[in-house]
């Protein structure tokens, strides 16, 4: 299966020695960058006493809003892990339908949980373009928040969709928000409202390659959210069942 998938990803423009630079990065698409990615303060050690405060890019109100507009992050020690923070006050995202999603004070977050090897695609986990969205998403699904008031109180699909709109409210472009949405669908664990335990998060090389293929196709095609959602869920289901991924699965959304 791995050989067939690697061939499919090669067709999609990843991992091919003969690929031109424009295949991975179209000439009209600027690389995703953020000052945090090159700032020596990031990621902060959980033992550091420093606080960081992110700015919020101006975005159309149709994607929702945050109250307060941004929130400070205080380093928090998670045994064996770096890069975690807490928030000092309740932090609310009101989505385009008027629903309020609340990250209570003391919610634990590490921003977007993205492997360092994928930062060149997504940007730094604490990028202003999706940091606030990640805080809200962590309140409802982050492993470190098991037992907190909001954790697993909403369906997975609704929570992930909220994350997409919250990214747009942070100032992410359509392409960047869809790329981040692909990451939470493919890399986040599954849950049902009311669950008390955390299922293992999916992992593996094929899943990483599927995400890279998704990110590439999103940049090339900028598919509708509905088409992207169906594509991601179809391939996520195949990966969970260890089914074969074909070239057709990775070359068109």
The structural domains of the chain, with segments of one domain joined by +, span: 2-250
Structure tokens at 1: 């299966």
Pairing mode of beta strands 72-75, 52-53: antiparallel
**What is the pLDDT at residue 25?**
32
Quote the percentage of the chain above a pLDDT of 90.
Answer: 56
When the pLDDT of each residue in the chain is averaged and rounded to a whole number, the result is: 79
Which two three-digit tokens encode residue 242? 């260890």
Query: Phi and psi at residue 73, in whole multiples of 5°?
Result: -120, 130
Specify the pLDDT at position 164: 97
Residue 47 has pLDDT above 60, yes or no: no
pLDDT, one tens digit per residue, over 50-76 is: 333 433 444 457 899 999 999 999 999
Cα 235-126-192 angle, rounded to 5 deg: 45
Whether residue 29 is predicted with pLDDT greater than 50 in this model: the reply is no
Strands 65-67 and 91-94, by their bridges, are antiparallel
Q: Cis omega (within 30 of 0) on the bond before 68?
A: yes
Q: Tell me which of 123 and 246 has the higher pLDDT.
A: 123
What's the farthest any 2 CA atoms get from each other in the chain?
51
Q: What is the pTM of this model?
A: 0.75
Burial class (CB in 10 A: 0-12, 13-18, 19+), 211: buried
Q: What is the pLDDT of residues 196-228, one digit of tens each?
A: 887 777 778 889 999 999 999 999 999 999 999
pLDDT at 44: 28
What is the secondary structure of 104-133 as a DSSP string?
A: -TT-EE-SS---GGGHHHH--TT-TTTHHH
Q: Is residue 209 within 8 Å of residue 7, measured between CB atoms?
A: no
Weakest mean pLDDT among 1-10, 199-208, 235-244: 1-10
């Amino acid at each position: 299966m791995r050989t067939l998938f690697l061939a499919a990803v090669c067709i999609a423009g990843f991992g091919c020695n003969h690929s031109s630079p424009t295949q991975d990065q179209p000439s009209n698409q600027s690389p995703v960058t953020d000052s945090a990615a090159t700032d020596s303060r990031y990621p902060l050690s959980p033992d550091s006493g420093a606080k960081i405060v992110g700015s919020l890019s101006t975005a159309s109100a149709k994607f929702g809003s945050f109250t307060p507009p941004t929130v400070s992050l205080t380093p928090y020690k998670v045994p064996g892990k770096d890069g975690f923070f807490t928030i000092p006050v309740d932090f609310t995202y009101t989505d385009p339908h008027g629903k309020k999603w609340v990250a209570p004070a003391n919610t634990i977050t590490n921003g977007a949980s993205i492997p360092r090897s994928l930062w060149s695609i997504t940007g730094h986990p604490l990028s202003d373009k999706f940091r606030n969205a990640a805080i809200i998403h962590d309140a409802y699904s982050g492993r470190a928040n098991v037992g907190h008031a909001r954790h697993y109180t909403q369906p997975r699909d609704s929570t992930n969709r909220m994350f997409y709109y919250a990214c747009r409210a942070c100032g992410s472009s359509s392409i960047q928000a869809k790329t981040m949405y692909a990451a939470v669908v493919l890399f986040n664990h599954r849950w049902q409202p009311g669950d008390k335990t955390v299922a293992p998060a999916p992992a593996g090389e094929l899943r990483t390659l599927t995400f890279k293929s998704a990110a590439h196709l999103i940049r090339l095609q900028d598919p509708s959210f509905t088409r992207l959602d169906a594509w991601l869920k179809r391939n996520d289901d195949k990966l969970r069942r260890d089914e074969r991924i074909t070239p057709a699965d990775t070359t068109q959304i």
